[in-house]
Amino acid sequence: MALQATVSMSWVNTVLDAAAQQGAPRAQVLALAGIAPQELQSERWPIDHIARLWRAAVQATGDAGFGLKAGASVGPASFNVVSYLLQSAPTLRAALALVQQYQSLISDGGRFQTIAGEGACWVIYHPRQGSLAFSPHQIEAVLAAVVVFARWITGPGPALVPLAVQFNQLQIGPLAGYRAVFACPVQFEQAFSGLLWDNAVLDAPLPQADAQLAAAHHRLASARLDALAPPQALEKVLVQALQRWLQQQLHEGGAVPTRAQAAQMLGLGERTLARQLQAQATSFSQQLDAARRDAALQAVAQPERALADIGQALGYAEPAVFWRAFKRWTGCTPAQWRARQDVGS
């Protein structure tokens, strides 16, 4: 059985506080969501609870821009110890890497992926929903929160502005609301949801960087992350190790890695590997497909690489097969996806 995604109460309170600021009391929002008030005493909520809460908050406030406003309202309390880790990071790029590392302390209902380019870097958000579909307001809140926190940790001075933001969903609020939060070009119905950051901005030294304080926060965050892990988490670690190995093999080129090779690398029999992957509701073929997807996105973002060569390097015998796989992953062809990245060049 797969581990259920959960979310921290600090993020729950961010949603409830944002609704209350617009005249929708906590009790009203919880009642609309069908969630008992005593559940606020829990340490974490199932991901479906937060999906219900978002829908209830939007209904209670009647605000089509609620997600943007909730994300823009975040502060240090919204992300617990992760907030302090970000504050003491040496650069914004390092801070984003910390978000990826300690994402579960906020919510494991999604993951961030960075795709580096020559002049800029995409930070992409991949939601991991439960049995209920994510509200589009959740996606907007996450990207808005990233921008607000980036501005918070970079300190005083001109407001930090991404080069672009895009969503893989329809526009759901007034365009003025998006412009107020992001202050950059916004596109909708794209291949992914993410923010484009200038590399110079990502690598600029942060004013509050403190290596000694960062080390202390790392120890605290690591301890809290370990405390979250139930016994089944060993299987989750196996999946993560497999994914790292697959990415390394694909990066090095050569033959497509096989399940037998993976099992040998992990010190397991093939059947044992298959059973442990099944316990995480996945399989070797699914993990290989995910690794190929991430490698393809990284490679296609490099304009000097021929698209046909990328497909061949990833083990696709024919360009048409690679094209079909890429369209299944992103909704568009490699050429179309590359053309959409021109804004960052």
Helix (H, G, I), strand (E, B) or coil at 202: helix
User: Does residue 16 carry a pLDDT above 90?
Assistant: yes
Q: How far apart, in whole angstroms, are the C-alpha atoms of residue 250 and residue 288?
A: 9
Q: How far apart, in whole angstroms, are the C-alpha atoms of residue 138 and residue 140?
A: 5
Q: How far apart, in whole angstroms, are the C-alpha atoms of residue 214 and residue 85?
A: 6
Higher pLDDT, 155 or 56: 56
State the pLDDT at residue 324: 93
Q: Edge-to-edge strands of the sheet including 186-187? A: 110-116, 120-127, 193-198, 164-166, 186-187
Beta bridge partners of 194: 124, 166
State the pLDDT at residue 236: 64
Q: Provide the pLDDT confidence category of residue 2 given band limits of 50, 70 and 90.
A: very low
Q: Which tokens go with 212?
A: 């000694």
Segment 65-93, tens digit of pLDDT: 999 999 999 877 677 778 888 888 899 99
Q: Provide the pLDDT confidence category of residue 266 given band limits of 50, 70 and 90.
A: confident
State the pLDDT at residue 272: 81
Exposed e or buried b for every residue in 290-328, given b needs 16+ CB within 10 A?
bbbbbbbbbbbbeeeeebeebbebbbbeeeeebbebbee
* pLDDT, mean of residues 20-29: 96
Q: How far apart, in whole angstroms, are the C-alpha atoms of residue 93 and residue 122?
A: 11
Helix (H, G, I), strand (E, B) or coil at 208: coil
Helix (H, G, I), strand (E, B) or coil at 160: coil
Q: Provide the pLDDT confidence category of residue 237 given band limits of 50, 70 and 90.
A: low
Rg (CA), the chain: 21
152, 149, 157: which is closest to 195 by C-alpha? 149
* pLDDT, mean of residues 129-148: 92
* pLDDT, mean of residues 102-129: 89
| pTM attached to this predicted model | 0.70
